[in-house]
Structure 1
Amino acid sequence: MSFPVGLSRVVEPAGVLPQAAWRLDPRPQLGADEVRIRVERLNLDAASFRQLAEKHGGDGAAVRAEVLEIVGTRGKMHNPVTGSGGMLIGTVDEVGPESPLPVKVGDRVATLVSLTLTPLAITDGLAGWDGRSEQVPAQGHAILFGRSVVAVLPDDMPGELALAVFDVCGAPALTDRVVRGHAANGPVSVAVLGGAGKSGSLALTAARLAGARTVGVVVSEAERDTLTAAGLADEVAIADARNPVAVSSAVAQALGGPATVTVVCVDVPGCEHGAILATANGGTVIFFSMATSFSAAALGAEGLAADVTMLVGNGYVPGHAEFAVDLVRRSPAVRALFEARVAGH
């Protein structure tokens, strides 16, 4: 039986899938089911970029050097501290004769699978990147497998904007699914921790369009003002997502009680217990942050006697890319937030 999941690219340890591997083989020669992408830009996930920036005190040259070291050593962008990577955009260079992916040579595409499982080689030393932003101009190549997920870039938005949207497109799609599932039992309220960020703003928009009452929880007055001006949430509250009592109190005050659904989009550790405490019994917590400790979430829910369903946002829901792009097209406020993020403001 053939398994089009990239097993032939695993160098070490033997017997694991590419995501779990320590090192991959990024050779440009293709297997029958593979696709080679000429890389234009990487998008480091928020947790990984934050960890690298904090480690090096904002020294962009040091961040750039470490990203190059990780890719050179591991054959992929897989941050060994956070365990996360990101995604990329580029142009299809070659398509293997047995590839099932819906792309052809010359298509500009976004990879909708993590860089932690994508064989990657960088050839320009990241000379066009100052190490101070999540988006990384780059030259090189990447390999997709038969079971990878890829989307052709929309022609009505710049590549940098599309990359930022695709990077978090799983969040709004899963939020929509969960909200609509709860709606069968009555009114739904949604709290989004990190509501002013990329995934948070899209999750808020999806929840409101699905009919939920929403509160965006942010950490600062500046983020509160940004989210309030955008009009993406019914309520905006300030609380440190790492402080369980503060989060729970802020959500309860904004919504008149705990949320039916809580979505965690904060890229720092320690947000698990606040999300659980802010969620009503019978409700759902969706963890989208790669900084989440799932043992802390499970044991915290047990310790709080919290009857909540906890979901890992795995980044893939069928149709998620089209869903997220449609949200950005329909909401000028969301598009403005993303454009400001891409511009570094």
Structure 2
Amino acid sequence: MLVVDNIQCQYDAETVVEDVSFHVNDGDICCLLGPSGCGKTTILRAIAGFQNIASGNIELGGKTLSSAGQSLSPDQRNIGMVFQDYALFPHLNVYDNIRFGLRKQSNAQQKATVSRLLELVRLSNVENRYPHELSGGQQQRVALARALAPSPELLLMDEPFSNLDADLRKRLSLEVRDILKELGISAILVTHDQLEAFAFSDQIGLLYDGELQQWDTPFNLYHEPVNPVVARFIGEGSFLPGSIGQEGNQIDTELGLLIGNRAYPWPPGSPVEVLLRPDDVVLTSLGGISAEVQRKLFSGSSTLYTLRLPTGSLVEALLPSHHDYQLGDALNVTTQLEHLIAFPREEAPLSTPKQEVL
């Protein structure tokens, strides 16, 4: 439904977004994820029509919204927008805030639309209140209802939950997702919160330094990162030095010979870095290697341990919290992984591989 094709965005001749391409299918909820200053809000503003693009093309439903030197105004795009600060009109009550974008409809149509949305976002009992009389969660629901009122083809959300406390943020993001799925509306969320992106989105685009590193499902971003930037940004994990074994799907490491789900095209002995997620490192009573507990982070049902191996390398292990290991304890660990992700070790570049390595 939405096609963003090779766009470039600039501020005062400085390029802030470079060659970004992705598409959003009808009914999908997607996310632009990345650290502050990576360009995600700039891309959202370009889709909404608030930011011109220097090159490339943006299409919605087969209609060109933006190209170099040409741009439809925001009101011609049929796109809804939910801002970080909600941007509600303080002098209008809840009912009139939602009704604001429906001025072309008859009074009866406006009333029916607003009533339906008030019920959908569970605010029917506060329609006469003003924004300052509402909680943060209620204000966010009003902003969502107002954006949905004109029946947009696409909804854009710029850090919409960032002003809420952690518990409300999590609960409201799931409620908003359910509402969008019920209505069948496509949406793009901008956030720097990985957990929020994972819970909210069907597809996620990771942006870093103005470039789109990977556009994929949450599962693949975590388990199948395409480069070290994605691997380091997404989730917990550590890199362990290793070398390609006699077979391409084998890597020799301090934790033993790792055998994975892919064959790498590099010759035996090629130095690599292996990505180990905390759930890849497990305790063992037979074999394994002794590792010393350096740090621990208790989170209720599990504890994240940072372990020092005999060479000084650090790995992380996510273990059930039934056993409470102390700093300095020695644990016998091994690996249990299904996704073997390795990248060339930077200090010893490899020859060009025969195929793209995922």
User: Is TM more than 0.5 here?
Assistant: no
The structure richer in strand per residue is: 2
TM-score when scaled to structure 1? 0.26
TM-score when scaled to structure 2? 0.26
The structure richer in helix per residue is: 1
